[in-house]
Chains A and B, each alone.
Chain A
Amino acid sequence: AQTVTQSQPEMSVQEAETVTLSCTYDTSESDYYLFWYKQPPSRQMILVIRQEAYKQQNATENRFSVNFQKAAKSFSLKISDSQLGDAAMYFCAYYAGGTSYGKLTFGQGTILTVHP
């Protein structure tokens, strides 16, 4: 079974600075997908960024980028120019693709605090 591990229960960053959230996963699949979701205090689950395992290029969405290391099974999220609105719980998630019918496996989450 696939597992996803976020080893940082909490992180903090100063406004305008950069922070990196870590995620590792375990799988025997060669083709899969990885996601970062943001959960603000409102409880909404908001998709931040996604990465296809077959793509070597790291995904980027505005201030958010990932460092995808397939051999190391690592998928970290970098937030640049942090803003107060980035404060939230962040979840890393894995999707096996194929016949897994869209099922996601989530990490434990990292609470990000942004200091003004």
Chain B
Amino acid sequence: NAGVTQTPKFQVLKTGQSMTLQCAQDMNHNSMYWYRQDPGMGLRLIYYSASEGTTDKGEVPNGYNVSRLNKREFSLRLESAAPSQTSVYFCASSRPGTGIWPQHFGDGTRLSIL
């Protein structure tokens, strides 16, 4: 009954280092998302994957790349971390279609860039 699992939960990086945040869901959901949460700004969509094999940019994609490895897994990569990327990152999944399909969220990754 894991739902959406994110790893790691905390990470500290130095400016310029690279990092991949991992996300996996076991609910057989088609769509997956990466958000960042910053104080006073709510959650903002970085990238999403509507279905296996597709990815698209969200509201704030600069500085990030994603990979939809299979239906379960959706990773977020910071190629060259910058202090402006210090944030809490959330992965989510859903099975959108007709009607309401609410998103299920992971517990978040707190990332600090020094």
Q: A residues engaging B (CB < 8 A)?
A: 4, 6, 9, 33, 35, 42-45, 47, 50, 52, 91, 95, 100-109
Contact = CB atoms under 8 A, between A and B. Distances in A.
9 contacts: A43-B107, A91-B42, A100-B96, A101-B31, A101-B56, A102-B50, A106-B35, A106-B44, A108-B41
B53 interface: no
Nearest to A44: B107
A43 B50 contact: no
Contacts of B42: 4, 6, 91, 106-109
Q: Which 5 A-B pairs have the closest CB atoms?
A: A102-B96, A45-B105, A106-B42, A101-B50, A102-B94
B31 A44 contact: no
Interface of B: 31, 33, 35, 40-45, 48, 50, 56, 58, 88, 90, 92, 94-96, 100-103, 105, 107-108
Given A4-B42, A104-B103, 9 more contacts: A43-B88, A45-B105, A91-B42, A102-B33, A102-B50, A105-B45, A106-B44, A109-B40, A109-B42
Contacts of A45: 90, 92, 103, 105
Nearest to A33: B100
Given A33-B100, A35-B102, A44-B107, A103 B33 contact: yes
B43 A101 contact: no
A76 to B, nearest CB: 17
A63 to B, nearest CB: 19
A50 B99 CA distance: 11
Given A35-B102, A44-B105, A104-B103, A91 B43 contact: yes
Given A33-B100, A50-B100, A101-B31, A106 B43 contact: yes
Task: Pick the most buried of A33, A44, A45: most chain B CB atoms within 10 A of its CB.
Answer: A45
A50 to B, nearest CB: 6
